[in-house]
Amino acid sequence: MEEERKTLELNIEDNAGGQDESPGGVTNDTIEYTLLVHEIPELLKEQEALEAAQDAAPEVIPAEAVSAGDTEQETEAEPAGVSDETIEYTLLAHEIPTLIREGYVPKGPESEKAEPEKTGGQSGEAEADDQDQTGNTVSDDERKTKYGLPVDRPETKELAYKMEARRRYKERKRRSFRTRFYVGITLIVLLIAFAILSVSGIFTVDSIEVRGNTHYSAEEIINMGHAVPGRNLIYHANKEEITGYLEQNPYIKTAKVSRKLPSTLVISVTERTERLAFGYDDDYLIMDEDGILLKKTRNEPKITLVEGLVVSRIKLGEKIGTEDNERFNKVLELVQKTAKADLYFVKIDISSEKRVKAYIYDTLAVRTDYDTLIANIENGRLHLVLENLFADGIERGTITFDEDGTASFQPTI
């Protein structure tokens, strides 16, 4: 047997020296153990003996069943003459690459010494995760790639951010489009419904309302504006025509026509008020506070009568022209101040260029210049003087104001 072993070892050495590589690209150096053919039956017998000894071994009693006083533990005895070191493994040359790919690493004395000690289950698992099958350290990116997880890279994060921003933009755009679409459909439906209703009898004028009139009655305003019921309030209200007819009248300062759904036409007017009058031959020229000629009449009006000016031009609805427009404007200012102060003069004599004489009654007058009279009307002194005179029962005489505001009274007119 020894001769056969030497012969086989010699043949192996000759073969290794004559040829470096075995078929399949695996060298003889990769074969760590050699198992002789004639030793296989013996090893099989030893393996069967080992299995028989294991089957015959008594069962180990669980730890819970052992009493507290028992300190010795039963152990199984190994069959004599059989150990792990006596069993050798033969790796065929063509099986080595397959085992390496499957992660098999043969253990030997050197590999057992190099294996680090594990202090716990969790630390062992963490170290196994940090190393691959060949013992090399595995990085986080490689581990994520192994398990199909995304690798944290700057360009990946930037791409993910851009994709999320794009998704949100598309979502906002989609919502905005839906909103505009629904609003548009709603408006179209409302317009169609309104168009249908506007030509129906619902919007036919059946009443006319007049607002702001004092000089004319509501019926007179409606007749002057040629406003008639029965027309369509939406399309045939004739607002411009009614406004034009009304503003041709000197007493109508402004006119406005509006709709009050479903069937009422509203006419709002601002009228001019009669404030003063000029004598013109045998007639009287009636004006508002702006000097606009409202009418010409033979009847004596119950408003302030202005004397001392010569009229040069008249036209209904326009300001009267005089030979002294500066004094005429002073009179208009005086009339406006008296209206605001709730005063009334029956007559104003402006024959003098610098002084004015205003009559409270035909027998009671105020004489001063234009500016002083306007100032005493605004500060209330004229009111105070008149109250004192009326309290004493005096209704005849002349009140005079100096430039400093001092008032004096004479019982003569």
- What would the DSSP string read from start to end of 68-133? TT------PPPPTT--GGG------TTTHHHHHHTT-----HHHHHHSPPP--HHHHHHHHHHB-T
Domain 201-271: give its CATH code. 3.10.20.310
What is the pLDDT at residue 163? 87
What is the pLDDT at residue 138? 61
Candidate CATH numbers 4.10.1110, 1.10.3470, 3.40.50, 3.10.20; the one for domain 276-410: 3.40.50
Tens-digit pLDDT string for the chain (413 aa): 444 444 444 444 444 444 444 444 444 443 444 444 455 566 667 767 777 776 665 554 444 444 434 444 443 444 444 444 444 444 444 455 554 455 544 444 444 444 444 444 444 444 445 555 555 666 666 666 666 555 555 666 777 788 888 888 888 888 888 888 889 999 999 988 888 877 777 889 999 999 999 999 999 999 999 999 999 888 888 999 999 999 999 999 999 999 998 899 999 999 999 999 999 989 999 999 999 999 999 999 999 999 999 999 999 999 999 999 999 999 999 999 999 999 999 999 999 888 999 999 999 999 999 999 999 999 999 999 999 999 999 999 999 999 888 999 999 87
Residue pair 358/365 in contact (Cβ under 8 Å)? The answer is: yes
SS (H, E, C) 17-30: HHCCECCCCCEHHH
Q: Domain ranges in the chain?
A: 201-271, 276-410
What is the pLDDT at residue 18? 45
- Peptide bond between residue 97 and the one before it cis (omega within 30 degrees of 0): no
pTM of the model: 0.55
What is the pLDDT at residue 320? 94
Please identify which residue in the block is written with the tokens 């000759």.
Answer: 14
Q: Which of 380, 302, 282, 311 is nearest to 346 (CA)?
A: 302
Return the DSSP state at 148. Answer: T
Q: Is 184 helix (H, G, I), strand (E, B) or coil?
A: helix
Q: Is 32 helix (H, G, I), strand (E, B) or coil?
A: coil
